[in-house]
Amino acid sequence: MFKSLKPLIRKLYEYKSIRIIVYWCKRILLFIPSLSLLTIGNALFKLVYALPFVNRQRKRFEKESKPFFRFKSVKSIAVMGAIGMALSAMLSSYLVTIVRELFGYIYKLVYSLRLNDLLSEASTTPQLPVFDWSVLLARNLFNFNVFHLAPILAVPLFILFSVIGWKSAWINFEQYRDYNANESGDDRFIDEKQLIQQYKKIPDKAKTYDGFPGIPVAHISNNTLQGWALQSKMKWRSPKFGKLLLASEKVLGIANKSSGYYLIEDDTVNTLIVGMTRSGKGETFVNPTIDIISRSKVPSSMIISDPKGELYQSSYKTLRKRGFDVDVLSFQNMDWSMSYNPLAQAVDYAKKGYYEKTQTEVNAVAESIYRKEGRSSGNEDYWINSSISLFNAIAMALIDRAHETV
C-alpha cells in the first residue's frame, strides 16, 4: 500500500503550490524553537560565558583599567604625598592606641591572675580586668598624643606608612602621567566611543553605502537577535553550533539582515596584517575587505594575491553580481588565465619612440628572470650575464621588427 502511495506523493510534491505549503509548514513548526534558541539560548550563553571559570580571557592591558585617582603632574605627587602623610599619622595614632590598651590589658591580666592565686587561699572571688573597647572608636584616629606618650611605636609606624604613601604616589605618577610633549595622541589604545567618532560607519553585510570604500578597523555588534547570534558564534567557535544558529536565523528570515556595523578607514593608508598559517587572516580581514569594497557605491578596483584560489571561488559570483569584471592571472594554467605580457610597457615606449626607456624595461624583465640573489660560484656569472644579453637582444630585435611592419 505504501509503495503505491509513494509515486502519488512524489507527483503531488512536484506541484509548486504543494512545495510552498510544505515550506511554510516547516517554517511555522520551526519558528518557536528558532526564536527560543536565538533569545533564551543566546541570553543563557552570555550569562554562562560571563562566569570567570568559563571566560578565562587574560587582561592584556592592565594599564587601561585606570584607578579612581590619577596624578599626572609633579604638583599632584606633593598633594598625594601630603595626604598620605596625614593618613599615616591618623593610622599610626589609631594602631598605637589599640596596642597600648592591649599591652596594658595583658599586663593587668597577668598581674590579676597572680594576685588571684594568692587570694584563692583566702576563698575570695577572683577579679579579672576589663578590656576598654572604646579604643576601637574612630575618634582615636586623631589621638596624636600617642606620639608623645609612645614615640617608640608611633614614630616608626608613621615613617613606614609615609614611605608607602610616597612610593604609591610616585608609581601612580609614573604610570599615568602625561608623556606627551606637544605630540598628537597619547600612550593608550583608543576606546569604542572614540572609534565611532573617528571612523566611517557602514553596515556589516547586504546593504550598500555611500562614499568611497575603505579598510575595516573594527566591528561592533548590534543589540539584536542577529548581533547576539554573531557574538555567540565568535565566542563559541563550534561549526555545529554555528550552523544551528544560522539555520534558526534563516527560519526567522533575519539571516541576511545586518548584525552590526564596520568602522572603516577610507583614507589612503598602508596596512600590514601579520599572522601564522590558519590564524584567520582571510576570514577576519581579507574576505570582509573584499565585501566592503564591493558594496560601496563608489567601488574601487582590487588586485588580490590568491595562490590557493580560495578567494576566487568564494567571491567570484558575488563580485560579478555587483558589477565587477573578474579576471584571473595564473602562470600554472595559462589556457585558463587572462593574457599577460611582461614586455607591454616596453612595447608602449617603443611605439612612442622612447628607445632608451624600451631598453631599460626589457633589461628589467631579463634581470628578474635570470639574476639570482646572493653570490654565484665559478663561472656562473658569465652564463647569467650571457642569458640576460641574449634575452635583451632577441626582445629588442622582435620589437624593432614589429615596428617596421606597422
Write out the H or E segment, with its range, that includes residue 263: strand 260-265
- Check residue 180 and give its pLDDT: 59
- Check residue 2 and give its pLDDT: 46
d(CA 139, CA 143): 7
| Amino acid letter for position 339 | S
Burial class (CB in 10 A: 0-12, 13-18, 19+), 293: buried
Q: Mean pLDDT over residues 254-266, rounded?
A: 89
Q: Where are the alpha helices (DSSP H) in 236-321?
A: 239-252, 281, 287-294, 310-321
Cα 84 to chain centroid, rounded: 39
pLDDT digit string, tens, across residues 59-112:
544 444 555 556 666 777 788 888 888 999 999 999 999 988 888 888 887 777
Closest to 359 in 3D by CA, of 404, 406, 403, 393: 393
Long-range pairs for 314-323 at CB < 8 Å and ≥24 separation? 314/287, 315/287, 315/290, 315/291, 318/291, 318/294, 319/290, 319/294, 322/294, 322/295, 323/299
Cα 121 to chain centroid, rounded: 82
Closest to 71 in 3D by CA, of 61, 59, 79, 63: 79
Q: Give me the residues paired with residue 263 across strands.
A: 201, 218
Q: Which residues, at least 6 apart from 239, have a Cβ–Cβ distance to it below 8 Å? A: none
Q: Which residue has the higher pLDDT, 320 or 45?
A: 320
- Check residue 391 and give its pLDDT: 93
* Contact call for residues 237 and 284 (beta carbons, < 8 A): no
* Contact call for residues 97 and 143 (beta carbons, < 8 A): yes
> Which three three-digit cell numbers place residue 262?
564596520
Q: Mean pLDDT over residues 1-25, rounded?
A: 58
Helix axis angle, 355-370 to 344-352, nearest 10°: 170
**Secondary structure tally for the chain: helices H, strands E:** 15, 3
Largest CA distance in the chain: 143
Is residue 123 predicted with pLDDT exceeding 80? no
pLDDT digit string, tens, across residues 47-58:
877 776 666 555
pTM of the model: 0.56
Mean confidence (pLDDT) of the chain: 81
* β-pair type (200-203, 215-221): unpaired
Helix axis angle, 225-235 to 42-49, nearest 10°: 40
Cα 56 to chain centroid, rounded: 16
pLDDT digit string, tens, across residues 161-173:
898 888 888 877 7
Number of neighbouring beta carbons within 10 Å of residue 357: 15
d(CA 361, CA 356): 9
Residue for cell digits 614615640? Answer: 151
3-class secondary-structure state, position 398 = helix
Q: Give me the half-sphere count of Cα atoms (radius 13 Å) on the Cβ side of residue 320.
A: 8
- Check residue 321 and give its pLDDT: 92
Number of neighbouring beta carbons within 10 Å of residue 73: 11
